[in-house]
Amino acid sequence: MKQRKIEDILDSVDRLPTLPTIYTKLTNLLQSPNATVKMISNVISEDQAIAVKVLKLVNSAFYSLPQKIGSLKHAIVISGSNQIRNLVLVASTIERFKELNSDSSFNMQRFWEHSIGCAVAARVLAETAYLKNPDDVFTGGLLHDIGKLVHAVYLNEEFTTIIADVNESGLPVIEAERKMLGCDHTYTGRVLATKWNLSQGTVDMIEHHHLSDPSAELTKEIAAVHIGNILCIALDLGSGGEKKVAVAQMKAWKILDIELNNLETIVERIGRLFKESVVILES
């Protein structure tokens, strides 16, 4: 089977989860120079559940705005269209894909909690390192393990064996996947994100968050997702199936230029924002 089967599944568009319609429509609209705040607001408002989540995220502790934002139009003006598009992707992805189930021992509820935890941790690190677009990093963190979702749902038998191997041997999931499938979730996630026409930066964060390819360029965004993933495993914020906590690579800390004595403050903020984000995104 190995990689051929993975590619066959990824080529079967009807079987794979597709990007939420609202995000696709919003992306298409934003490519037009004639897009207005009202038009953007109208597209998002087509799905009230998503609209409510976006407003709650804008009003969350992440942004610490001086006043409550009461309308999507105001949120778009304050936050900007790119940031709002990221929030729509985050909210609609959770809404669209949390209904997918796996018959394996892989806990989907804990998977989404882990995804949210990594998104939160990566964003906190991005803000601490003064990255220009922390919302982009939040999105990369949320989707970093999307390849595992494909494996769990569409390669259920194989992924059940993978998780059993991880539990028994303590192998990292990425190594157990390579042993069973001939590739891992970073490969599957990269192919899926490319099919979805996500930004190259998001694709790179998904593909390289384990820093397993020494030839790949290490960006600050990738470093934030790499460390964020490990921190949320260490803090038990959900579960991506790992049995052990990996060690964050020092080069990731170095490129972010974050002093390790700031870690206690970072961890405290991650824990607080994680609880709020789970309530918003899973409600």
Q: Is the pLDDT of residue 13 over 50?
A: no
Residues 126 and 254 in one domain: yes
Give tens-digit pLDDT for 123-160. 999 999 999 999 999 999 999 999 998 898 888 888 99
Average pLDDT estimate for 13-36 = 84
Q: Is the pTM here over 0.95, yes or no?
A: no
Average pLDDT estimate for 251-270 = 93
Residues 191 and 218 in one domain: yes
Last residue within a domain, chosen from 99, 114, 136:
99
Instruction: State percent of the chain over pLDDT 70.
Output: 93
The residue with tokens 């709020």 is 276
* Alpha carbon distance, N-terminus to C-terminus of the chain: 39
Residues 241 and 280 in one domain: yes
Residues 202 and 246 in one domain: yes
Last residue within a domain, chosen from 34, 68, 99:
99
Residues 121 and 147 in one domain: yes
Residues 59 and 184 in one domain: no
Q: What are the backbone angles phi and psi of residue 182, rounded to the nearest 5°?
A: 85, 0
Domain span holding position 42: 18-99
The pLDDT-based confidence of 247 (bands split at 50, 70, 90) is very high
**Residue 164: which CATH number?**
1.10.3210.10
**What's the structural domain count of the chain?**
2
Average pLDDT estimate for 16-23 = 80
Give tens-digit pLDDT for 27-74. 999 999 999 999 999 999 999 989 999 999 999 998 888 899 999 999
Residues 141 and 279 in one domain: yes
Residues 109 and 183 in one domain: yes
Residues 213 and 135 in one domain: yes
Last residue within a domain, chosen from 35, 64, 99:
99
